[in-house]
Structure 1
Amino acid sequence: MAAQSLSFIRSAPLEAEPPPSTARGAVGWARHNLFSSPLNIALTAIVLLLLYVALPPFLRFMIIDAVWTGADRNSCREDVIGRPVGACWAFVWDRLSYFIYGSYPPSERWRVDAFFALLAFGAAWMLWLKAPRRDIGAVYFFVVFPVLSFILLTGWEGIGLPAVPTAFWGGILVTILVSVVGIVLSLPFGIVLALGRRSKLPFVRFACVTFIEVVRGVPLITVLIMANTMLPLFLPTGMSVDRLLRPLIGVSLFASAYMAEVVRGGLQAVPKGQYEGAMSLGLGYWRMMFFIVLPQALRIVIPGIVNTFIGLFKDTTLVSIVGLLDLVRTIEASRVDPLWAAPTVSMTGYAFAGLFYFVFCYGMSRYSLMVERRLAAGQRR
């Protein structure tokens, strides 16, 4: 009898059954994110209705009725080609070199291409979290790359590179250069300002607070105009500042002030016990900040840092106010050319600029999310 009762006792666990189809995959995602409540159902319906209304005309203009090849405005005029005309991508293709290089001499544009290649190499080395010897990558990106870029873009007669004045630079080259300089300089300067604002030395704290509040209290366009018109007035007689260097300084200072507040928020979020634990180990102020506090603070404010970078990248369009030919300015200069005087040329040029900024800003956003998920997984372990 005992043997018979024991025969009904399972010696191995049952295999786990898969979750129901309504709780996994696309159906589960839709139930959780789109149809989880009456409000979400209503919002989903409204969004689908808007997509139904707006998406077909958008696709028709951008792709279906678009003109992809042509030599002048006649390629993008409905009364000439006899059919509805959408985006005039022939205009973008014809002026693409101007959008990228500005008025940089055609025979020397390989130097701009080399600059882009060096930038991509250094950025990939720094952003790849599993890259070997990232310490060497940091030296390359912050020391070697700026020197090589300066020599390449401005020229050096000693090695056979003719000088190219910054007045000829423009397009994507200027946009990328201004944004990279602002991003690279704003983070370390912002960290210094944030630490200075929390300093116990009254003079240091007052100076940092004054700088941050003054810069954050005015729009970027004011900073650019001040840097362009008033900075030369404070220099000794006979000394001048390059017309491109002035907005680079203004953008870097402006972004540093905003970055300082982002970093200060991270410093305040670090528990007090971390400071006390570091001091109990005998660490000095700078070692405590470098090894203990700052890594935690920067991890906390990754979204704020990336948001500042994205805003800075988009704000580079304002450098056109001080006479620099960034991407948007080159598009505006090209769309008024009588050779391409067609109804859809202007909209196509701005669509190209919007696509350019979207790709870079979306890429920065997705990378920050990936870093957040990786750091969050490390915290859980």
Structure 2
Amino acid sequence: MRGLISFLRQCVSTPLNIAISLAICLWLGLNLAELTRWAIIDAVWSGASPQACAGVDAACWLFIKERFGQILYGTYPREELWRVVLCGIAGLGLLVVFSLPWRRGKLLAVLATLIVFPVFAGIMLRGGIFGLTVVPTTRWGGMLLTVVIAAWTIATTLPLGLAVALARRSKLPVVAAFAACYIDLMRGLPLVGILFIAIVLFPLFVPPGMDIDALVRTLIAFALFNAANMAEVIRGGIQAVPRGQYEAAMALGLRHWQAMALTIIPQAVRAAMPGIVNVSVAIIKETTIVLIAGMFDFLGVLHSGLIDPAWIIGDQVRETAYFFAGVVFFVVCFGLSRYSARIERKLDVGRQ
């Protein structure tokens, strides 16, 4: 409540702020009513066929309703969806645990999660052991595929980026030069090109009979590309830590790696938190590019539905699909940014 009052006071604190506030309110008044009419009041929520949306100048939520299963899981077998639900519950449970204020043993829990949970999720989703039916990755799709790619990339990019950042600051010329070349190469190439190499060109250079799953190659391409960006963010955080912190750690008798792990890296991560979140948000939005690799993620499933002849009945279906996609991506990215802001407030020693 106090923050809302402070915000309202800022809106009328100066004549310029008053003018801007009035302009924003006017814009909302002119557009919000029309958006409400299009998205809610005149929208089509149910119907016996796609023809229920024909000739209606409003949102066609019937399209989302009819394809909601594919939007969530793609073509994953319906009788095996309990495995996806179990992985989702486990993942949400871990997020809740990490949000709790306890600290003792939290680092070990995080490390265990980064190692144990991916193995558990991979076994449950892929199957093939413990009596689980094999579900090929070609049947993964929708939000499931988006979450898998985003979660894997973020989880692997953080340690890889940290390792590359430390390698670039190494006193060994060969190691530093190799890390610098890797960063410059990856940041100089578009993700589309790297994904094209992983999906199309890589099979041409491996021995005959050797086949690596397309999703695995995609995950590796995402991790290698974003590790370079994360490395520069973390390197900036390391350089923001005062030199005296390292000298004080060495004066206490710590070795180089002990000083880095216990003193420098925690402060560097705190300083680099906004940049880390920016990279994470970019990763979530980058997942839509897998459509060019023949994978139907969340946006890909919506796009495939739009080319279904039964739903080619007007622009309202396409507008609804992309509006729904925009809302979902906004909610996810905005939620991540708000969570990161909370972490920043907790880690900001100057405000405590």
TM-score, normalised to structure 1, is 0.87
1:74 and 2:46 are equivalent in the alignment: no
Which residue matches 1:126?
98
The answer to whether the 8 A contact 2:288-2:297 is kept is: yes
Whichever residue aligns with residue 54 of structure 1, its letter is: N
How far apart are 1:26 and its partner, in Å?
A: 5.4
What does 1:147-226 correspond to in 2, within 5 Å?
147-156=119-128, 158-226=129-197
Match in the other structure for 2:41: 64
Closer, same or farther: CA 356–265 of 1 in aligned 2, 3 Å: same
> Relative to 1, partners in 2 of residues 1:41 and 1:70: Cα closer, same or farther, differing over 3 Å?
same
**How many angstroms apart in 1 are the aligned matches of 2:48 and 2:117?**
39
Amino acid in structure 2 at the alignment position of 1:46: A
Following superposition, which runs of at least 4 residues in structure 1 exceed 6 angstroms of deviation?
none
**2:79 maps to which residue?**
107
Report what 1:29 is aligned to.
7
The total of aligned residue pairs comes to 350
CA contact (8 A) 1:71 1:90 kept: no
- Pick from 24, 35, 39 the counterpart of residue 47 of structure 1: 24
For residues 1-381 of structure 1, what are the structure 2 equivalents within 5 Å?
28-31=6-9, 33-78=10-55, 84-130=56-102, 133-135=105-107, 137-156=109-128, 158-343=129-314, 344-376=316-348, 378-381=349-352
Which segment drifts farther, 253-262 or 125-134? Answer: 125-134
In structure 1, give the amino acid aligned to 2:325: A
1:70 is displaced (CA, Å) by 1.8
Q: Is the 8 A contact 1:266 1:297 kept in 2?
A: yes
User: Structure 2, unaligned stretches of length 5 or more?
Assistant: none
Q: CA deviation at 1:223?
A: 1.3
Structure 1 residues 132, 96: closer, same or farther in 2, change over 3 A?
farther
Amino acid at match of 1:100: L
CA contact (8 A) 2:345 2:351 kept: no
1:105–1:29 CA distance, 2 compared to 1 (3 A): closer
RMSD: 1.8
AA in 2 matched with 1:373: R
Q: Verify the 8 A CA contact 2:141 2:301 in the aligned structure 1.
A: yes
For 1:192 and 1:39, locate their aligned partners in 2 and report how far apart those are by CA, in whole Å: 48
CA shift for structure 1 position 247: 0.9
Tell me, yes or no, if the aligned pair for 2:237 and 2:272 is still in contact at 8 Å: yes
Distance change (3 Å), C-alpha of 1:128 and 1:230: farther
Q: Secondary structure at the match of 1:199?
A: coil
**Equivalent residue of 2:229, what SS?**
helix
CA distance in 1, matches of 2:104, 2:50: 51
Deviates more, 1:252-261 or 1:64-73: 64-73
Superposition deviation, residue 234 in structure 1: 4.1
The answer (yes or no) to whether the contact 2:43–2:61 under 8 Å persists in 1 is yes
Query: CA separation in 1, counterparts of 2:134 and 2:45?
Result: 36
Structure 2 SS opposite 1:230: helix
| Residues 293-325 of structure 1: CA deviation (Å, up to 9, x unaligned) | 011111011111001100110110001111111
Q: CA deviation at 1:87?
A: 1.0
Cα contact 1:197–1:205 (8 A) shared by 2: yes
1:130-175, Cα deviation, whole Å (9 max, x unpaired): 377534532442122111111111112x422111111111111110
**Partner residue in 2 for 1:19:** none
* Cα separation, 2, equivalents of 1:111 and 1:28: 47
CA change 1:135–1:276 in 2 (3 A) is: closer
* TM-score normalised over the length of structure 2: 0.94
Q: Structure 2 counterpart of 1:174, which letter?
A: L
Alpha-carbon separation, structure 2, partners of 1:279 and 1:131: 26
Decide whether the 8 Å contact of 2:50 with 2:62 is kept in 1: no
Give the whole-Å Cα distance in 1 for the aligned partners of 2:8 and 2:263.
42
2:193 is paired with a residue of what secondary structure?
Answer: helix
> Conserved in 1, the CA contact under 8 Å of 2:162 and 2:231?
yes
- Aligned residues: percent identity? 41
Measure, in 2, the Cα distance between the counterparts of 1:309 and 1:160. 35
Superposed displacement of residue 121, structure 1: 1.7
Q: Which has the higher contact order (CA 8 A, sep 6+)?
A: 2
Asked whether the equivalents of residues 125 and 137 of structure 1 are also in contact (C-alpha less than 8 Å), the reply is: no
